[in-house]
Structure 1
Amino acid sequence: MDQKIINLFDEYTHKPLKRDDFIKRLALLTGSMTAALSTLAQLEVKYDAATTVPESGNGIITERITYPTGDITMKGYLAKPSKPGKYAAVVVIHENRGLNPHIEDVTRRVANAGFIALAPDALSESGGTPADADQARDLIGKLDMAKNLQHFIKAFDYLKTLKDCNGHFGCVGFCWGGAMSNQLAVHVPALKAAVAFYGRQPDAADVPKIKAAVQLHYAQMDERVNAGIATYEEALKKAGTSYELYMYEGAQHAFHNDTAGPRYNEAAAKLAWERTIRFFTDKLK
């Protein structure tokens, strides 16, 4: 697919670009309104393809949970190994579409690898993530980011209450969640491992606060997010922070999301996930 179309879709999903304006610009790129709507159907996520790890079986159990934050009650999706034991815990952080079937599947993938996995819903205060992705993105954009950060930090307090949690904590986030993963690395001293997929970088001045080991995954074609890499990496080196940084040649933003149509890159996604699970195994177990 034409990179100009991919870039326009990225602008639509990450900046305040109204749907009507996006479709008009897409029609100019594709040549007609009919072609624009056909292209849009290819680009938009398809959650009917979201399940790679079933809800039951495969040695995991899942449940819907809630936890208090001080000002609201957060909703979350919990998955963990069914075999009794003590396990490290990983907070899974969704994209700017909220807690959807794809992220729930990713949460089960983490549990299937031998970890307790908790995916909080940033839109809990609004009743939870709506089915409409445009509505979810709009609600995400209206969040109070300082309060939202505290809501995710409180997830670790909840995990500490679980009898099968061994007290070792990690996090992994994607896009909006990748930025949150970087922020948790800054603000949660107990965090041992933070993985960010194509997420906005923290302020360089905050990097010395990071105690966790950091693993960063970026897509070569993702110019918007990649603009902050050099400054972040320089700060990580200067602070002596343990980190791994991977760039995936030819990959687009959201390359790990297997419901994201032409932006999904199977080879890059598989390699990045193998690296993620290896990282958590090394740092948390």
Structure 2
Amino acid sequence: MHTHKSNSEPQVIPQEAFDWYDEYAHGDITRREFLSRLSTLTVLGFSMSVLSAALLPNYALAEQVSFNDADIKAEYVTFPSPAGYGEGRGYLVIPKSVTTSAPVVLVVHENRGLNPYIEDVARRLAKAGFIAFAPDILYSLGGYPGNDDEGRALQSSMDKAKIEQDFMAAARFLKTYPLSNGKLGVVGFCFGGYVTNMLAASLPEVVDAAAPFYGTPPAKDIRMNIRAPLLVHLAELDKRVNATWPEYEADLKAGKKQYSMHMYSGVNHGFHNDSTERYDEAAAELAWSRTIEFFDLHLKA
């Protein structure tokens, strides 16, 4: 298990703590219940401060590309979303090397709004030569509130159909952005993995390549619409999402869809997110390098 902090006697956090965090992060249990369960591990010698520090995000750890990086230009821009919440806003990052056109990639956040980790993912894509755009679905409610707990509560209060329309509007906006070469990729994490799958199925004429990270499938009745190649990343310990894969894969095979799936052994849902202890550096870097190669292949040609 990758750890950010080195202690003189590093302790391995029990797997059930990660499972409880997954339940909490997806709204299946309350924060109070999550902390109550964590407290049962104190008999094993863990302190609550160590456990909660390890499991709850620390976004100082997630900055791999500085927002001041000389190779990129980043700004917040709005886009129209008449079928969604009226107007959306997102974080647009353009490589300074782009003068005429470049491939574009939509980055879809988790179930808590546009947090610093997702903004950093957009910057990483720009460093790799893509114009990246990461919408904040919480824009109509004032934007990401600065912490994940409030962000999760805000997002869960929203209309899922309108959320999906906002992301569809963002995809269309980015595909036709003046510097776009007309090739759109989508990458998303957790809830954003679901949205990535959903966009590939809902907007087959818009999405050219899709890379969902531990995301659930799109609605069954639209799966046959998928035209874009899919690069599916799954975590071996992610029982919730993995349970949905066999049926999804059967439909992809039946429809002769182009897809590849990578199962990362011994890692948890959220393993790419470097702000929590679920992060696994080796798996995250392998999955990311595969994603960049995939987008290079399908969007830059």
Relative to the length of structure 1, the TM-score reads: 0.95
Question: Which aligned runs of 4 or more in structure 1 are off by greater than 4 angstroms?
Answer: none
Structure 2 SS opposite 1:216: strand
RMSD, aligned CA? 1.6
Which whole-Å CA distance do the structure 1 matches of 2:274 and 2:182 have between them? Answer: 31
- How far the C-alpha of 1:22 sits from its partner, in A, is 1.6
Q: Deviations over 1:213-257 (max 9, x none)?
A: 111000000111110111111111110110010000101111001
Q: Is the CA contact (8 Å cut-off) linking 2:175 and 2:183 kept in structure 1?
A: no
Whether 1:120 and 2:135 are equivalent positions in the alignment is: yes
Whether 1:54 and 2:66 are equivalent positions in the alignment is: yes
Aligned position for 1:249: 265
Aligned position for 2:52: 40
- How far the C-alpha of 1:131 sits from its partner, in A, is 1.1
Higher share of residues assigned helix: 1
Given candidates 216, 221, 227, the residue that maps to 2:232 is 216
Percent identity, please.
43
Q: Deviations over 1:185-218 (max 9, x none)?
A: 1111221101100111123332111111111000
Which whole-Å CA distance do the structure 2 matches of 1:28 and 1:111 have between them? Answer: 44
- How far the C-alpha of 1:29 sits from its partner, in A, is 3.3
Aligned position for 1:63: 75
Which whole-Å CA distance do the structure 2 matches of 1:125 and 1:110 have between them? Answer: 26
Q: Is the CA contact (8 Å cut-off) linking 1:58 and 1:112 kept in structure 2?
A: no
Whether 1:82 and 2:59 are equivalent positions in the alignment is: no
- How far the C-alpha of 1:161 sits from its partner, in A, is 4.4
Which whole-Å CA distance do the structure 2 matches of 1:161 and 1:206 have between them? Answer: 24
Which whole-Å CA distance do the structure 2 matches of 1:160 and 1:232 have between them? Answer: 27
The size of the alignment, in residue pairs, is: 284
Whether 1:276 and 2:291 are equivalent positions in the alignment is: yes
Whether 1:237 and 2:249 are equivalent positions in the alignment is: no
Given candidates 5, 9, 15, the residue that maps to 2:27 is 15
- How far the C-alpha of 1:56 sits from its partner, in A, is 3.0
Q: Note the 1:129-278 alignment, pairs <5 A.
A: 129-189=144-204, 190-261=206-277, 263-278=278-293
Structure 2: 5+ residue stretches without partners: 1-12
Letter paired with 1:216: V
Q: Is the CA contact (8 Å cut-off) linking 1:23 and 1:37 kept in structure 2?
A: no
Which whole-Å CA distance do the structure 1 matches of 2:116 and 2:167 have between them? Answer: 19
Structure 1: 5+ residue stretches without partners: none
Aligned position for 1:28: 40
Which whole-Å CA distance do the structure 2 matches of 1:149 and 1:29 have between them? Answer: 39
